[in-house]
Structure 1
């Protein structure tokens, strides 16, 4: 299953909606449209509503219900920030968002850790050779993350 090209924030949100439906998750979406509304813009001026190319930038914040707690912030710049039980993955390509979520909900994501020096990582393998790893902040070890620990 390769990556589908998601040309827009709307397409990314629709793809997340498919994953939510597949795993029977509640989903809430907040849309911010216009450069004055989005959280980070590089191509538009400080008070601009349109990007320099005349398009309306569109950012979406998606909250998925269920376990683990997941939020997806889709940025107009073709990337997203996915937070899984407090562990933040920045700069996930928008096209990778649906397969990332399937890895989390489908059971292939896991936590790997060691005692010395102490550290735990949430590892999210995607089809192909793509893997995302982020440190699990100390003190954030939800029941879901605990269940995902591998030696």
Structure 2
């Protein structure tokens, strides 16, 4: 840990590496776009672009990860320590970045499932993570993909 690095770089890269490990476990292709610098970052912290620069001038860092296979999964990792994960078109905003690898494992490991409710009516994609953490997102009926339909419980 000799030379100083931007605090966000190692964690974004660590998350990408952890997701890559999960992708290899399940034999999934993985594409990463991680050359998004401050000039191209999709959003900035409230402190403003200049305030997030390190003394060494390194830039905020985000990465976009796409996984092959079914369901389609993409993970957008933000410099603010959160991620947006999309599973077959169902968007989960504000997932903690460190939870992203476990989230992908849950989806591809068969733990994620869809539950229909009569009241309030609707289908929910439920993604359980270790440690009693669960993410739920409403699935609109017309967007029930074959993978989502197969995973209704």
Gaps spanning 5+ residues in structure 2: where?
A: 1-8
Confirm or deny that 1:35 pairs with 2:30.
no
Partners of 2:83 and 2:95 lie apart in 1 by 5
Q: CA deviation at 1:53?
A: 3.6
Task: Output the CA distance in 2 between the equivalents of 1:82 and 1:53.
Answer: 28
In the alignment, which residue of structure 1 is the partner of 2:109? 106
Distance in 2 separating the partners of 1:41 and 1:137: 30
Select the residue among 65, 68, 73 that pairs with 2:71.
Answer: 68
1:3 alignment partner in structure 2 = none
Task: Show the counterpart of 1:57.
Answer: 60
What SS does structure 1 have at the residue aligned with 2:63?
strand
In structure 2, what is the Cα distance between the partners aligned to 1:137 and 1:31?
31
**What residue in structure 2 maps to residue 20 of structure 1?**
23
Match of 2:48 among 44, 66, 69: 44
Greater mean deviation of Cα atoms: 79-88 or 129-138? 129-138
2-structure distance, mates of 1:26, 1:53 = 34
- List alignment gaps of at least 5 residues for structure 1: 1-5
Q: Which residue of 2 aligns with 1:80?
A: 83
2:75 & 2:140 partners in 1: Cα distance?
19
Query: 1:116 Cα shift?
Result: 5.0
Give distance in 2, aligned partners of 1:61 and 1:137.
25
The structure that is helix-richer by fraction is: 2
> Pick from 90, 115, 123: which aligns with 2:126?
123
* Count of aligned pairs between the two proteins: 142
Q: TM-score, normalised by structure 1?
A: 0.87
In terms of mean alpha carbon deviation, does 63-72 or 115-124 score higher? 115-124
